[in-house]
């Protein structure tokens, strides 16, 4: 993102700032004058009217007394006092008081025994003032009658007071809006015109080669971004005539900076940058790539250093119970705890943090403190009066000259082996892998050559049938990736896929999975069944995913509805809008979208509202006890009702008994999947099931 402009020199910036200050000062003075004049005019106008009433009131009282021959004195009765007032001239009440403020007569029973001490007792003429009683304001018009006696007229002034207050608020609002508009205009002007080095002192200064690798930087940059050794944007596109916004990872967050660039005589790029606080749409830098590059930078500098993976085992459950925002707060606390001892930290995914610790004098101290460090991660976390415990498991590996291979992949594999060992040990929360102890880690250790395994034909696809209740036959299959049993390799499929995603082999695996499954789909196309494929976050978010997927789809000339894509909502938290665009592209080509594991996370209904979903799969957790647990039954019924109301198909996973089947059928579930029908089977057995299977 660039801000194209003519540049501003220092004098231009000074003039702009000075102009802004003058404009703001004039605006403030003008508004104050307007408010002062308007409110005073309103007060004077209203009080002037009441003052004339007060004078007329005194005249009426005197005239009336003279005509009737009454001399005002304390001996007059209340009725005689009342007879003095021939008219109230619009007042709500009238009264006669003495110079000592005692009320002799009050027609409205407002003043009580004494008039307010703040009211003026005039020597001559009429004194008009405002007195507040409770939530109302009253005007008191006091005139000397004769000797020690005074007449008082009073009237409710509340409406006028509110009108004046409203005027002040309106003028104040206009002032605030005007001030914000002027300030916003100024900021927009500066941002869109940019600042060159002559007019702005940049915080960060650095030099990179043409590929973005940082050759040198000032102390401010090193302090704020100790992990950054490369910029992933194309620095050749930067210029000194415009500012280019880039995103730089900073611990578990990302900071936006605006850069200006100049070519040096040696062909490198000299960059000056400063913080930028505005939205930015650049593609996020991959943390695993940054960790890899930092690891590589350690190799020539340190004979021995540490690499590790910290896993938050209970975080998925907390996410389900408390929601995404609460989980993010917990994640931040955990991250802060890690940052106390590890400078180089990388968020590999929501539940795993990668760390590096360079060699040196503090290295041995760190190893001695590892137990207390890991114990601190497991301390209770309190957020908004909620206290949670996150069980943390850690795997570390010592990277030294004894390590069989000092590549990043091997080091990460070693750390993962230590992590798996820790996960299987209920007594210990961390292990440290060292090459001298490799035998102890043999059953946890793996480092696959995915390319070689593909060439040796060690992988296969199996297919688990989906039974249509209304159709009374198998209507589809879920394609599942497997390692052939004949390969004689003990491996967890999730570990293998995780390794493939981390090492960059996922593209090769994806091509094998998609090609094999679509070839099977073509072979059963005439039997009117669909084949669904699980797509991982890494696959979906890869650049060119849709193109490569559709290329295989078109290769087999598959008809619409023969292929479905299954996505789990657990990975849609990030890049949600981007995921929707890709799924819509697939849908436009006749590929249905299935939402897997529905209902297991709090955000399901939001995803259902926005995603182009055709089928919802009810997670087996609700199906297992659907016949015995009323809550599971109610949740399942709710999901089925949503599907029926919005013309969506509903698949129930994990169906193993006829009791479950009958309950789900009664609810209106469309399709079941589980061992009641069949486990996943090879392609030939799957084809046979289509023709032969009958639900008993």
Establish how many alpha carbons lie within 13 A of residue 364's alpha carbon, considering only the half-sphere containing its beta carbon. Answer: 1
**Structure tokens given for 436:** 């001298």
pLDDT recorded at residue 174: 72
Helix/strand/coil for 319: helix
State how far the alpha carbon of 223 is from the alpha carbons of 250, 340, 571, in Å: 11, 15, 33
Whether the per-residue pLDDT at 539 is higher than 50: the answer is yes
Residue pLDDT, tens place only, 565-610: 998 765 554 556 777 888 899 999 999 999 887 766 544 566 677 7
Range of 264-268, 358-362, 413-417 with top mean pLDDT: 413-417
**Rounded to whole angstroms, how far apart are CA atoms 340 and 347?**
16
Q: Decide: 657 and 626 in contact? Cβ < 8 Å.
A: no
Q: What's the rounded mean pLDDT across residues 660-669?
A: 94
pTM of the model: 0.49
**Structure tokens given for 61:** 């009282």
Whether the per-residue pLDDT at 449 is higher than 90: the answer is no
155 φ/ψ angles, rounded to the nearest 5 degrees: -150, 145
pLDDT recorded at residue 87: 61
Residue pLDDT, tens place only, 317-350: 787 778 778 888 888 889 889 988 888 888 887 7
55 vs 529, residue with greater confidence: 529
pLDDT recorded at residue 200: 47
pLDDT recorded at residue 566: 92
Question: ∠84-90-95 over CA atoms, to 5°?
Answer: 40
pLDDT band at 445 (very low <50, low <70, confident <90, very high): confident
Q: What's the rounded mean pLDDT across residues 665-675?
A: 95
CB-based contacts of 638: which residues, under 8 Å, 6+ apart? Answer: none
Whether the per-residue pLDDT at 657 is higher than 70: the answer is yes
Q: What's the rounded mean pLDDT across residues 141-150?
A: 80
Q: What's the rounded mean pLDDT across residues 107-118?
A: 74
179 vs 272, residue with greater confidence: 272
pLDDT recorded at residue 552: 94
Whether the per-residue pLDDT at 293 is higher than 90: the answer is no
Return the minimum-mean-pLDDT range out of 67-81, 153-167, 184-198, 641-655: 184-198
pLDDT band at 305 (very low <50, low <70, confident <90, very high): very high
Whether the per-residue pLDDT at 476 is higher than 90: the answer is yes
Return the minimum-mean-pLDDT range out of 45-59, 182-196, 455-469: 182-196
pLDDT band at 551 (very low <50, low <70, confident <90, very high): very high
């Amino acid at each position: 993102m660039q801000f194209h402009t003519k540049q501003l020199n220092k004098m231009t910036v000074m003039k702009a700032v000075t102009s802004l200050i003058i404009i703001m000062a004039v605006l403030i003075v003008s508004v104050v004058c307007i408010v002062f004049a308007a409110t005073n005019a309103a007060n004077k106008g209203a009080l002037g009217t009441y003052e004339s009433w007060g004078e007329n009131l005194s005249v009426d009282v005197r005239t009336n007394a003279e005509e009737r021959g009454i001399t005002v004195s304390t001996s007059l009765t209340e009725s005689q006092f009342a007879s003095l007032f021939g008219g109230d001239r619009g007042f709500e009440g009238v009264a006669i008081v003495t110079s000592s403020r005692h009320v002799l007569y009050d027609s409205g029973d407002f003043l009580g025994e004494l008039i307010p001490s703040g009211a003026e007792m005039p020597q001559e003429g009429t004194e008009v003032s405002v007195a507040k009683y409770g939530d109302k304001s009253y005007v008191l018009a006091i005139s000397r009658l004769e000797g020690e006696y005074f007449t008082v007229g009073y009237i409710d002034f509340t409406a006028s007071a509110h009108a004046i207050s409203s005027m002040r608020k309106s003028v104040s609002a206009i002032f605030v809006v005007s001030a914000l508009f002027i300030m916003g205009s100024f900021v927009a002007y500066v941002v869109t015109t940019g600042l060159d080095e002559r007019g702005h002192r940049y915080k960060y200064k650095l030099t990179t080669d043409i590929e973005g690798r940082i050759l040198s930087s000032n102390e401010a940059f090193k302090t704020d971004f100790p992990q950054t050794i490369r910029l992933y944007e194309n620095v050749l596109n930067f210029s000194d005539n415009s500012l280019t916004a880039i995103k730089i990872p900073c611990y578990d967050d990302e900071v936006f900076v605006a850069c200006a660039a100049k070519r040096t005589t040696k062909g490198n790029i000299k960059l000056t940058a400063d913080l930028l606080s505005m939205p930015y749409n650049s593609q996020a830098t991959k943390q695993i790539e940054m960790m890899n590059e930092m690891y590589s930078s350690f190799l020539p500098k340190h004979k021995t250093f540490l690499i590790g993976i910290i896993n938050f085992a209970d975080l998925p459950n907390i996410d389900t119970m408390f929601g995404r925002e609460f989980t993010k707060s917990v994640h931040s606390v955990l991250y802060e705890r890690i940052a106390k001892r590890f400078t180089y930290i990388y968020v590999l995914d929501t539940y795993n943090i990668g760390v590096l610790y360079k060699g040196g004098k503090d290295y041995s101290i760190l190893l001695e403190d590892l137990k207390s460090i890991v114990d601190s991660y497991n301390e209770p976390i309190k957020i908004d009066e909620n206290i949670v415990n996150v069980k943390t498991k850690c795997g570390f590996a010592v990277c030294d000259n004894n390590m069989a291979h000092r590549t990043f992949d091997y080091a990460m594999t070693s750390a993962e082996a230590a992590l798996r060992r820790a996960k299987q040990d209920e007594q210990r929360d961390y292990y440290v892998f060292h090459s001298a102890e490799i035998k102890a880690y043999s059953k946890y250790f793996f480092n696959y050559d995915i390319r070689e395994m593909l060439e040796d034909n060690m992988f296969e696809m199996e297919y688990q049938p989906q039974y249509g209740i209304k159709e009374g036959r198998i209507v589809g299959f879920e394609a599942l990736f497997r390692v052939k049993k004949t390969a004689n390799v003990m491996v967890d499929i999730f570990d293998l896929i995780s390794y493939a995603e981390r090492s960059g082999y996922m593209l090769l695996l994806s091509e094998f999975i998609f090609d094999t499954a679509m070839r099977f789909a073509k072979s059963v196309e005439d039997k009117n069944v669909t084949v669904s494929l699980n797509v991982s976050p890494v696959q979906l978010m890869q650049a060119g995913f849709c193109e490569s997927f559709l290329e295989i789809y078109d290769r087999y000339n598959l008809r619409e509805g023969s292929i479905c894509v299954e996505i789990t909502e657990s990975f849609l938290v990030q890049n949600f809008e981007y995921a929707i665009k890709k799924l819509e592209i697939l849908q436009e080509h006749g590929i249905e979208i299935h939402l897997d594991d529905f209902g297991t996370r709090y955000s399901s209904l939001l995803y259902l509202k926005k995603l182009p979903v055709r089928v919802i799969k009810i997670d087996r957790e609700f199906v297992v006890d659907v016949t015995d647990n009323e809550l599971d039954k109610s949740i399942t019924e709710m999901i089925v009702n949503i599907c029926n109301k919005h013309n969506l198909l509903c698949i129930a996973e994990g169906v193993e008994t006829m009791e479950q089947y009958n309950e789900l059928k009664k609810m209106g579930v469309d399709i079941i999947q589980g061992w009641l029908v069949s486990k996943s089977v090879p392609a030939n057995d799957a084809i046979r099931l289509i023709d032969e299977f009958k639900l008993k």
